[in-house]
Amino acid sequence: MTRLTIRGVVIYQGFLDRAGQETVRDAIGDVLQSAPLFEPVTPRGKKMSVRMSAAGQYGWVTDRKGYRYEPQHPQGQAWPAIPNCLQEVWEQVSGCARPPECCLINHYAAGARMGLHQDRDEADFTCPVVSVSLGDDALFRIGNTTRGGPTQSVWLSSGDVAVMGGDARLIYHGIDRTRAGSSTLLPQGGRINLTMRVVT
């Protein structure tokens, strides 16, 4: 495992070995059975290129009503619990005494991306956002805590964990592109990113 810090974001390359990645993949597969991926729409009505779901007490959703956390899937059911294997990752890297209340699931099919944004819909910024990458490599862009200015990019691979905490908690970040076919972890290909957060 290699640990590097870019603009305050701590990246653990190879945090999960292949078996660990498979455990998380299978646990998320179970979550998605009861909380299927959906196609989020921005408040302005633009369809996002990632598909989303969540686990935990809250899921982050976006639609015409805005960005927010909701205790239920858009179909009405409660979100499934955050799998233990992911809670363990949180305990190992977050440095936060509180457990995560949301594990957002982002699925990137070939061509999907995510524009630069801050994660700031949470009530408490003292705990970090912990991100786990599975499947295809993704080019992660890290900016500043205010909009604009220079950015730095790093490839995230399957099994990498990134922690946005402390001074980097509100840093702008996004995914420019993925490298389709770079991983064999997900049978259908693509990439899954899991971000755990304390919400309340």
How far is Cα 165 from Cα 163, in angstroms, rounded to an integer? Answer: 6
131 binds, among ligand SIN, Fe ion, none (CB under 5 to 8 A by kind): ligand SIN
Contact stretch for ligand SIN (CB under 6 A) within 35-43, 63-71, 132-140, 180-188: 132-140
CA-to-CA distance for 75 and 42, rounded, in angstroms?
Answer: 18
* Per-residue exposure over 167-196, b if at least 16 CB sit within 10 Å of its own CB, e if not: ebbebbbbbeebebebbebbeebbbbbbbb
Contacted by 53, from Fe ion, ligand SIN, none: CB < 5 to 8 Å by type = none
Helix boundaries (H) for 51-177: 84-93
Q: Which stretch binds ligand SIN (CB under 6 A): 28-36, 66-74, 130-138, 178-186?
A: 130-138
Residues 142-171 that bind ligand SIN (CB under 6 A): 156
Q: How far is the CB of 32 from ligand SIN (least distance, A)?
A: 16
Which span sits near Fe ion by CB under 5 A: 24-32, 65-73, 119-127, 179-187?
A: 119-127
**106 contact choice in ligand SIN, Fe ion, none (CB below 5 to 8 Å, kind-dependent):** ligand SIN
| Contact (Cβ atoms closer than 8 angstroms) between residue 69 and residue 79 | no
The answer to the question of residue 140 lying near ligand SIN (CB under 6 A) is: yes
178 is a site residue for ligand SIN (CB under 6 A): no
> Residue 66 to residues 11, 45, 158, 185: CA-CA distances in angstroms?
30, 10, 31, 33
- C-beta of residue 107 within 8 angstroms of C-beta of residue 174: no
- Of 53, 131, 158, 183, the residue at the interface with ligand SIN (CB under 6 A) is 131
Other residues' Cβ atoms within 10 Å of the Cβ of residue 100:
26
Instruction: Look up residue 157 and give its two tokens.
Output: 């691979």
* Chain CA centroid to CA 20, Å: 17
From the list 11-19, 23-31, 33-41, 133-141, the region that binds ligand SIN by CB under 6 A is 133-141
Which CB sits closer to Fe ion, 119 or 137?
Answer: 119
Binding site residues, ligand SIN, CB under 6 A? 106, 114, 131, 133, 138, 140, 156, 173, 175, 193, 195
